[in-house]
Structure 1
Amino acid sequence: MLEALQYDFIQNALIAGILVSIAAGIIGSLVVANKITFLAGGIAHSSYGGIGLAIFLGIPILFGATVFAVATAIIISALTLKNRNRIDAIIGIMWAFGMAIGIIFVDLTPGYNVDLMSYLFGSIIAVSNDDIIYLTILDFFIIGLVILFYKQILAVSYDSEFALLRGINVKFFYTLILILSGLSVVGAIKVVGLILVIALLTIPTYMAEIFVKKLSSMMILSAILATCFTLIGLAISYYFDISSGASIIVVGVISLLISKLLGRK
């Protein structure tokens, strides 16, 4: 694969993979710690509505997906905080509605014939310089917020009732975590796609849990593992000419299974 590094699109793919892995490691740890994997999945699939809307309006797809993902995260946060017993129904509705809106707007766009499968399953070789800039800003934004509010996020993630008694605004930080999850999902669209993004958020964290228990250590190790999965998956994808997103996830799942088996022994 070394000879391929001379191409700009390969360089962009590697940079994007690393940047996405950093975000996935940090946010994935929060998703798993807060037990909101299903909520993050709902936000991921709902953001397809933003993709369709962006295509229809002729605006940057990342911008449309970002706005839709953030709006969905805020709505889901408000609804699930008040209706904990109906979380599954709420997520199912938002999930289906977002996907349906996206499909309708794409159908209404005259002459649009681009393969939308790349947004569902990823197309990392299509990463642009604008995508790199977006991911770089996203990583700095996530890292900055986590460092700034680490104690509050830690308290909300592991004991929200205790956090509330300590005067921490649980609703705000719960919503913030969902918004960051939505932004990370949008960032990972080009790498693994909307269908597989939750796997990238959770697999490295589940594996990191075998070795560390502290949240900050879990974030760091998850980011490292996600980076390894991404780089190995990209190499496999290049050599065998198969989907990069699927390759990354398969590498992650196999690594997780091996770690679990070794951990039991």
Structure 2
Amino acid sequence: MSIIEFLQVPIFQRALFAAILAGGTMSLLGIVIVVFNMTTIRFALMHFGLLGGAIGLALGANPLTAAIAAIAIGSLLFGPLSDKLKLDTGLIGAFFMTGSIALAFLLFYKAGVPALDVFSLFTGSILTLSRNDLLFITVLGTVVVLTFVILYKEIQLIFYDSEQAEWLGVPAKRIRNGLLFLTGLSIGVAMKIVGALLIDALILLSAMAAMRLAKNFKQLILLTSLFGMVTTTGGLLLSMVLDLPTGATITLTGVLILLFSTFIQK
């Protein structure tokens, strides 16, 4: 089938819409992960999602819905706990990461969850999105964009110097925790689109590529959004034309963009 023929299929239409929207908006939260050095938090949220999926499978509920709910809860906890305990978010994340993965596999074992069901948590597919999934992605993407537009100056100042931002009266901790919550929800969406193992393709790679080329914060946002859309839509179209796995093709497209930006920078 040609691309034109694919565009006439409702499933592919939904997938393409989700690819454009998720790639252009949720990739912006990769900037948050890189600037705030939340690599450990990212892994912790992924493992929290795995625990949520395990609970869902054990109870006979939708595992991906349970995973997204668990990630949302985790993203709400990490920031305030870090502030209250005066510990780095990375340390908080490491604690939850190890605990949640252990509990997840314990649940898998005790509930007798089939290996194929467990594997489904790691391999999402953008082609299986429902109308409700699209609605959720649309709302979340809109909130992400509005957050960056309305709080543009505040976010820019926090990224460059959070202590000075606090001194100037900017609620840096609340904004940071809000961005962390949005990042958690985006990780949940990424699990649905590309699977838990390939989340970085949607969230992180575009921001990393943009940071190599952007000369200011505005360029960073625009390039990240552009690279995110090219990664998801380009990967989706290539996977359809070449008959390749969608998640893996999207990921490799993101890797190629990152390599290209590194080459251009040099």
The one-letter amino acid paired with 1:23 is T
User: Where do residues 33-48 of structure 1 align in structure 2 (5 Å cutoff)?
Assistant: 33-48=35-50
Correspondence list, 1:175-254, <5 A: 175-254=177-256
> What is the root-mean-square deviation of aligned Cα atoms in Å?
2.4
| Code of the aligned partner of 2:232 | T
Q: Deviations over 1:92-148 (max 9, x none)?
A: 331233334444445555787763333313212111111111100111121222222
Displacement of 1:180 after TM fit? 0.8
- What is aligned with 1:172? 174
TM-score by length of 2: 0.87
Q: Is the 8 A contact 2:31 2:207 kept in 1?
A: yes
**In structure 2, what is the Cα distance between the partners aligned to 1:23 and 1:41?**
21
Residue 118 of structure 2 aligns with which residue? 116
Q: What is the Cα deviation at residue 27 of structure 1? A: 1.1
Return the match for 2:87 from 83, 86, 91. 83
Distance 1:243 1:102, change over 3 A: farther
Rounded Cα–Cα distance in structure 1 between residues aligned with 2:91 and 2:229: 34
**Structure 1 residue runs without a partner (length 5+):** none
Runs of 4+ in 1 over 6 A off after TM superposition: 110-113
Find the aligned partners of 1:135 and 1:9 in 2 and give their Cα distance.
16
Question: Which of 17, 20, 24 does residue 19 from structure 2 map onto?
Answer: 17
8 Å Cα contact 2:154/2:165 also seen in 1: yes
**Cα displacement (A) at 1:259:** 2.1
Bigger Cα displacement from structure 2, 227-236 vs 178-187: 227-236
The gaps in structure 2 that reach 5 residues or longer are none
Distance 1:37 1:158, change over 3 A: farther
Q: Which amino acid letter does the alignment assign opposite residue 29 of structure 1?
A: I
C-alpha change, 1:138 and 1:58, in structure 2 (3 Å) is: farther
Q: Secondary structure at the match of 1:47?
A: helix
Match of 1:97 among 90, 96, 99: 99
Percent sequence identity over aligned pairs: 26
